């Protein structure tokens, strides 16, 4: 017998196909959303509007919480298609004129980089923030060290790396979409544009 879950998914897919003018919701973490916004002109636009959903939690693509997801691991859920882009590296950064050279800034979210700071720099944490985006603002203000993706930290000339890449935080990046939705022309076009943007950007290749 057909399950309630399957019926729900069938209805959702049918609605998605019918509503061709609905926005394309792209779900990503704070920093990839920052990156896409920063490169919106290079990304280009489609005939459909795009909604950027900046969340640290993985949204359920099967239930259409997002049409496209950018994740730090290959999805294991059935029915999803994935395309690998680049490897994302992380390193500590600070302003060269930081007032207190030993202070660290931590985020209270449960991302791997935030957990690493709390585990390894616990006694040196002077500030905590609830939103990862505030890490960048405080670092630029000279408030202390932060861990950032290298494609974010290296993009700011007012920040310098204060140590090597933290190898244990490096991860592959995946573009994820439902197997049915990837056949929709505008969804496929958006995925292709994001993949080309990331794939051609040497900012993701920076490791030293």
Does one domain contain both 182 and 141?
no
| More confident site: 14 or 163 | 163
CATH number at residue 132: 3.40.190.10
The pLDDT confidence band at residue 12, using thresholds 50, 70 and 90, is: low
Determine the straight-line distance between the first and last CA of the chain, rounded to whole angstroms: 56
Q: Is 198 found in the same domain as 152?
A: no
Distance, CA of 7 to CA of 157 (rounded, Å): 52
Q: Mean pLDDT over residues 121-128, rounded?
A: 97
CB-based burial label for 128 (10 Å; 0-12, 13-18, 19+) = middle
pLDDT at 26 over 70: yes
**57 and 96 fall within a common domain:** no
Q: How far apart are CA 109 and CA 56, in angstroms?
A: 8
Q: What is the pLDDT of residues 53-85, one digit of tens each?
A: 898 888 777 777 888 999 988 988 888 899 999
Same domain, 69 and 31: yes
Query: Same domain, yes or no, for 156 and 178?
Result: no
Query: Is 186 in the same domain as 152?
Result: no
Does 99 score more than 80 pLDDT? no
Residues 82 and 175 in one domain: yes
Query: Does one domain contain both 116 and 77?
Result: no
Same domain for 123 and 77: no
Q: Give the chain's mean pLDDT.
A: 88
Domain that holds residue 115: 90-169
Domain match, 138 and 99 both = yes
Co-location of 34 and 51 in the same domain: yes
Lowest pLDDT segment from 28-42, 96-110, 176-190: 176-190
Residues 141 and 70 in one domain: no
Domain count for the chain: 2
pTM of the model: 0.85
């Amino acid at each position: 017998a057909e399950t309630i879950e399957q019926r729900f998914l069938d209805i959702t897919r049918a609605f998605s196909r019918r509503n061709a003018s609905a926005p394309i919701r792209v779900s990503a973490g704070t920093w990839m959303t920052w990156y896409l916004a920063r490169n919106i002109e290079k990304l280009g636009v489609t005939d459909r509007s795009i909604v950027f959903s900046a969340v640290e939690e993985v949204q359920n693509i099967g239930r259409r919480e997002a049409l496209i997801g950018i994740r730090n691991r290959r999805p294991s859920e059935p029915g999803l298609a994935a395309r690998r882009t680049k490897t994302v590296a992380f390193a500590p950064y600070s302003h060269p004129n930081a007032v207190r050279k030993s202070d660290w800034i931590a985020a209270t979210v449960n991302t791997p980089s935030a957990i690493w700071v709390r585990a390894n720099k616990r006694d040196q944490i002077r500030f905590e923030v609830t939103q990862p985006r505030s890490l960048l603002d405080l670092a630029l203000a000279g408030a202390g060290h932060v861990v950032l993706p290298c494609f974010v930290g290296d993009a700011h000339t007012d920040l310098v790396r204060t140590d090597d890449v933290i190898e244990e935080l490096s991860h592959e990046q995946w573009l994820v979409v439902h197997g049915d939705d990837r056949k929709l022309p505008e969804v496929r076009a958006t995925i292709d544009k994001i993949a080309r943007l990331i794939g051609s950007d040497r900012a993701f290749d920076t490791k030293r």
